[in-house]
Amino acid sequence: MATMIVAPMLAAFPAALFLQAPAQAAGCGIFANRPYAIASTDEVAGNGGRSNCTSSTNVRVQLKWERPLQPDPVIAQSSGTYKNVTLNPTTDCRAGSQTYFTKTIVSSGDLDGDRRTIRGVNC
């Protein structure tokens, strides 16, 4: 008799509701844009983030300094828990001509943006 009570309740809800976690919107994705110079403050910045998503997750955007044949150090970072966000890590330009890139990291993966070479001293 107990199954007769449970069965009508289950029939009222789609089976997928019980079997699947909430799905993300079809266009949910991450982005990492090319870094850019801020000449007025002699800084370099990058931006990246997440868009068209329906649930929150930790989003971390890093501005990295490309170092050939060495690990690429993180020189600025912004992070938090968001559904959709654009984060803009910013730091002082390094002297000389340097190559930077933006990296966006979420629990499901990460993405490196295009590299950009920026000359220091008023960028």
Q: What is the pTM of this model?
A: 0.75
Q: Which CATH number fits domain 23-115: 2.60.120, 2.60.40, 1.10.3470, 3.40.50?
A: 2.60.40
pLDDT band at 104 (very low <50, low <70, confident <90, very high): very high
Predicted local distance difference test score (pLDDT) of residue 22: 46
**Alpha-carbon separation of residue 117 from 84, 105, 123 (angstroms):** 28, 22, 10
* Region of poorest pLDDT, from 19-28, 52-61, 106-115: 19-28
Mean pLDDT of 99-113: 93
For residue range 33-61, list pLDDT tens digits in order: 999 999 888 899 999 999 999 999 999 99
Q: What is the dihedral of CA 82, 39, 32, 23, to 10 degrees?
A: 20
Q: Phi, psi at residue 35, to the nearest 5°?
A: -65, 160
Q: Strand, coil or helix: what is 48?
A: strand
Q: Give the pLDDT band (50/70/90) at residue 9.
A: very low
Percent of the chain with pLDDT over 70: 76
